Structure 1
C-alpha cells in the first residue's frame, strides 16, 4: 500500500517510514495539512497515519478537509493527548484506529495488520457482490470431452505463472468464468479480479475506465479517478472482447504489458501497476492483425498462452451435466423445489445446436423454470425454436402420441439414448439393435 504519514516530528516520520517499509509498503511524508492534501490529490494513497496535534493545526480538522475533498481512505491517528473525549469524537468522524505516543514499531505493525485484514475483507465482499450480481450459475469444471479436459489442465498450469493469457472462442462459451477460475488458482488469488468489457464504452471513456483521469482532463471529469489498472494492482485485469479495443488504446495497453507503466488521462506522471492481464475475444485476432485493425506487437504480447474454448455444439457429452446444474441453480434461485425435464424436453435440449452456447442454455432454462407451472418441464414449456434442429438435422423432438412421423420419433429417441450412454454397445442394447445397424443410423443422422 501507499501510506501517507502526516506528522511534524522528523523522528516519528523516520520510525514510522522504516516500519512501513519493512512490511513491504511505500511511505509518503507530509509535515502539515496543506502538504497532506496536495499528496492525496496527486498520488494514490491507501491509508494515512495522522497526528492529532500538528504544529499549528488540529489533526481532526485536517481529517475533515481530506474527507470534504472526497477522499475516503482509512485514517489512523497518532496522539500524545489521548482522552475519552477525543477518542469518541475521532470514532464518530470515522477514524479507523489510534496509536498513542510514544509508541514502539510493533504498535504500528499491529495497527496496520488490522487495516490489512479489513481491506482484504472489504475487497472480498465487493468481489462476492459482483459475482452474485451476475446471477450466473457456477460452471462445472469437469468434462467428459477430452479436449475440455486438456483445456482445463492447461488453464490450471498457466494460472500458476504470471504469463498473459488469451481466451478465444465464440460468445457465451464461459470465457469470463474461466478467467476468474485462472485468477483464483493463481498466486494473485488474494488480490482483486477486475473486469473491463471493452466494447461497452466510447474510446475516451474506455481510456479513462482503464487508466483513470485527473480532474478537468475532459468535460465531465469533475474529480480524479484511478481506473481499473490501478484497481487491479496486485491481482488480475480481465479485458473482455479485447478485439474491439481501439487502436489508440492498444498502444497504451502494449506499454503496460511491456514495462507495467501508464499515465492517467490528462496527467504526465508515469505510474506503475503490478497487474496480470487475461484477455478474451470472439474475434479472429490474426485476421484483425492482417487487416491492420489490431496491433501485431500487442497480439504477440497477449498470445503467450492461448486457450480455445469450443462451442457447446462440440461439447455434447457435457450437456446432460450442464443442464442438470442449471436446473438446480435456477430452481433454488427462485425458491422452488427440484424441477425435472420430461424425456421429450430433455431430448430437445440434447439435440439442439446451441448457437448461443452456455449463455443461451442458461437463459433458456431460467425462462422455462419461471414459466413452468409444475415440477416437470415439458416440450410445451420450451421455446418454439427448440422443436426444430438446426443445420442438417431433421425435425425432432416429440413425445409418444405426438403428431409426428415414426422417422422423427425414432431420430429423437436415438439422439437422446446416445447422449445418455457411455458406449455404442450400451446404446445399441437399449435400442434393441446391433452396433452395425446403429452405426448406419448414426451415419444417416449425420452423427459421425
Structure 2
C-alpha cells in the first residue's frame, strides 16, 4: 500500500466525564514517542505532586490550570503529532452537557470521531448525545473505543454487549463508517500496541486504524466550488497584466480550459492558468490553495464563487440551518447578525426557530423555541444578498455558516445548511 506521508487526519475525542479521553490521548502521544523530553519531565513532576506513583497521562492534554486542578477537560485542547505514516491534529473536547458548543467546534472539521465508552457502564446518555452530534456534523468515520477493559477482566462478552447496544441506537443516524476497538488507555492495551490480554480481538489497535483510515474520498471531488478570497494584481514589470483570483478549493477539480461560471453574476469564462505555491499546475483539487486566471475580463471580487458551468450551487436568501448557539445571550428573532459563508459576508436575521433538539433524548421541542447557549435547533434565516450554498451533507465548507453579533463582533452561532 502506498502511504501519503503528507496526509493530515483531524480527529476529535468525545465521551462522558472520566471515561478517559485525556488519558487515551496521553497514551497515544506517549507510546508513539511524540512528546519532547522536557514535557515528559514536567508531567512527571506534576504527577508526583498529585500523588501518582507513575505518570498521569491525562496531563499531556489538560493544559489549562483549572482543568489540572479539577482533573477535567473544560475547553477544546488541540494537539498535533506525527508518525511515519500520517500527520494528526487531535481535538480533545469536554464531556459535560454544558460544553456541547465546544464539542461542535472541535468536531466541525474532523475526519473522524473517537467516542469513548466505559466498559463498566456501557452505552449511556452522553454516548448517544456525542454520537448524535457526530452524525449531525457528518463526520465520516466514528471509532467507538470501549475503554477500561482491564476493569471488566478483558471479557469479550462485555465488549460485544456494548457493540450491540451502540449499533441498535445508531442505526437511525447518518454515520457511514463505525468501528469498535476494546482498549485500556491506562495500561496501553490496543492503543498503539496490540493487547496480549485480549487475544479474542482480531482487529487493529487504535493508532494503526487512524493511520490507515481512507479519508481521500471524504472531500467532495464532484462539485467544483472555488470561493474567491482575494484578487491578485501584482504591480511589477514581470506581471503587468496579471489578474489572478486566489482562494482555497472547497470542492471538486479544476483544469486548464474548463468552462466556469462566476456566481452570483452568472458570467462565464474558461480557465487560462492555475497557480499553486510551487508554480503552474495542470489541475487543482480540493482542498488546495490556488490562484486562477481566466481568459475573459470579468468583474470578480471577494465573496464571489467560481463553479463549473454544468454544476452550480443554489443561490438563495432563505436558508434552513441546524444552528448551534454559542453565546451567553439568547438568540434574538428578527435581530440582525453578520453571516459568514465561505469568503462571503452578508447581513442576516433569524426569521423563525422551527424546533429545538432536546439533547437528552434527541427529540424535537416545538414549544420552547428560545435558543440559549449550547442549544441546537432548526432555524430559518433570511440574508440581504443570495448565498451560494450546498447542503452540509454534500459539502462541509459550502454548507456551513457562522453568525456574528454586529455590536460585540462575537461569534454567536454556527450552522449547517439542511
Q: TM bucket by the smaller chain?
A: 0.3 to 0.5
Q: What's the TM-score once normalised by structure 1's chain length? A: 0.31
Q: Is the helix fraction higher in 1 or 2? A: 1
Q: Is the strand fraction higher in 1 or 2? A: 2
**Greater C-alpha Rg:** 1
